[in-house]
Structure 1
Amino acid sequence: MQELTTVQLLIVLAPPLLLAITLHEVAHGWAALRCGDTTAKAQGRLSLNPLRHIDPIGTVLIPALLAVFGGFIFGWAKPVPVNYHRLHQPKRDMALVALAGPSANLLMALGWGLLMVVGYHLQAGLPWLGEPLLLMGGYGININIMLGVLNLVPIPPLDGSRVLAGVLPDRFGLAMARIEPYGLIILVLLLGAGLFNVLMPIVNSIRHLILTLFSSFF
């Protein structure tokens, strides 16, 4: 398989990245709706249209630069609005809403695994279609696992902090609320310090498990 040009790489990366971020946010909104909060639905954020969720810098510029210059793929979308006080059981439901995003990424990783199988079987007869699908499936698995695992880190505004706030005493949630204005800065500093090196064994284990599930189809 020949090395991809920059344009080809971006074309192969764009669908899994946009779907990973879009469906992650839709999952938050859907879970909030199920728990009683209609805010995301009222603002049109349950849409599968990526344009409703795209952050020009976090969804487009940063991932594109990382893809071109190498390294991990990192990005974010506009957060789905959730009204804490409209939830049936606010503390518990906020944890469920937060957990919905990474759960959606895990399901998408499985879906991209299926696409890899399709691409693998098409590449012999239709290489112009099979090879891109095979690559796209692989990137889809990696992106979704990394996004899901990263979001479970307990640093606000990541989902992990809200999951823990839902199961730990209230003082933990208050502490997370005080840290949240500085959360993105803390996250960037931790990423620069090698946070992904800590997370990669988890990412690799989940990827290995998914590939093992589909290994009999290759």
Structure 2
Amino acid sequence: MTTAATTRDRRVSPIFLGLVAIMGISGWAVWTGFSASTGFAVFLFVVSGWIVSLCLHEYAHARTALHGGDISIGAKGYLTLNPLKYTHALLSIVLPVLFVIMGGIGLPGGAVFIERGRINGRWKHSVISAAGPLTNIAFALVLLLPFPFGGPGTVPGPFLAALAFLAMLQVTAAILNLLPVPGLDGYGVVEPWLSHKIRRQVEPFAPFGLLAVFGCLWIPEVNNVFFEAIYAIMRAFGADNILTDCGQAWFRFWQGDPQVCRAALALRM
């Protein structure tokens, strides 16, 4: 099957490469303590890493759609990893970053427009929808590698904290996005297997699915259960609550340097 995507369509965007460079440089600054402000370096590392993960999430959707039969993907620029090529930059990049800054929640973003009519087979549709959240899971696993295999004593505390917070964002994004709620990827996985009647009934609610999820998270009891599950997953990989919370505290550099975190991490070394 021809995928009708030229070399130019697949060329990695300089914008994405710039984001990766910012992530690498800021990560180095956190590791070495080079930056005068650890918090600002953590902020740059987490924000750039989060946007990189959003680009990879949407690329996964686009790439699987391309091989599934939607040969229009390449011409739309989705294979370049350029966030400015997404359908709605506000919903896909700006709002997710704002939610990270305000609440430390990995907001799932929906950005690529896939011509589903070009794709045949229910399994293909399900795989296309699942590809994005699975990318977040893979990204989280990479970020969590230092914890069971390295950890305190071999990796600087602030860098571990930054990794823990960024990994937590990936875990929250994956879990939220895999919920079978209209408008989220989880519903996209199960939708092909539903009857036409059910799909027609559910379709009007798709624009409000994400709002409903976050409305539920404002309920204290639901919020507590959700984040307890997130923290449990993090602890299973050796990233305890102190690391995750300190990563978020450094991320919010405008609130001052969290000296209590420095003291707590020093005790763990």
Q: TM (normalized to structure 1)?
A: 0.75
In 2, are the aligned partners of 1:162 and 1:173 still within 8 Å (CA)?
no
Counterpart pick for 1:151 among 155, 167, 177: 177
**Structure 2 counterparts to residues 46-85 of structure 1, below 5 A:** 46-53=79-86, 55-56=89-90, 59-60=93-94, 63-64=97-98, 66-67=100-101, 69=102, 71-77=103-109, 79-85=111-117
Counterpart pick for 2:50 among 5, 9, 17: 17
Query: Quick check: 1:167 aligned with 2:193?
Result: yes
- 4+ aligned runs moved over 6 Å, structure 1: none
**Share of identical aligned residues, percent?**
25
> Structure 2 counterpart of 1:175, which letter?
Q
Q: Distance in 2 between matches of 1:39 and 1:16?
A: 28
Q: Decide which structure has the larger Cα Rg and report it.
A: 2
In 1, are the aligned partners of 2:217 and 2:223 still within 8 Å (CA)?
yes
Q: 1:107 to 1:184 in 2, by over 3 A?
A: closer
Q: After superposition, what is the alpha-carbon deviation per residue over 1:19-54, rounded to whole angstroms, capped at 9, x for unaligned?
A: 221111111111111211123322011222344347
Q: After superposition, what is the alpha-carbon deviation per residue over 1:45-76, rounded to whole angstroms, capped at 9, x for unaligned?
A: 12223443472465235634652x5x332435
Q: After superposition, what is the alpha-carbon deviation per residue over 1:109-143, rounded to whole angstroms, capped at 9, x for unaligned?
A: 111123566785664xxxxxx45542332122111
Q: Quote the offset at 1:188 in angstroms.
A: 3.5
In 2, are the aligned partners of 1:155 and 1:161 still within 8 Å (CA)?
yes
Q: 1:41 to 1:113 in 2, by over 3 A?
A: same
Q: Distance in 2 between matches of 1:143 and 1:35?
A: 29
Q: 1:47 to 1:65 in 2, by over 3 A?
A: same
Q: Quote the offset at 1:150 in angstroms.
A: 0.5
Q: Which residue of 1 aligns with 2:19?
A: none
Q: Which residue of 2 aligns with 1:215?
A: none
Q: Which residue of 1 aligns with 2:235?
A: 208
**Structure 2 counterparts to residues 32-181 of structure 1, below 5 A:** 32-53=65-86, 55-56=89-90, 59-60=93-94, 63-64=97-98, 66-67=100-101, 69=102, 71-77=103-109, 79-89=111-121, 91-114=122-145, 123=155, 130-131=156-157, 133-181=159-207
Q: 1:46 to 1:198 in 2, by over 3 A?
A: farther
Q: Note the aligned Cα RMSD (angstroms).
A: 3.2
Q: Quote the offset at 1:86 in angstroms.
A: 0.6
Higher mean displacement: 194-203 or 98-107:
194-203
Q: Quote the offset at 1:9 in angstroms.
A: 4.0
Unaligned runs of 5+ in 1: 124-129, 213-217
Q: TM (normalized to structure 2)?
A: 0.63
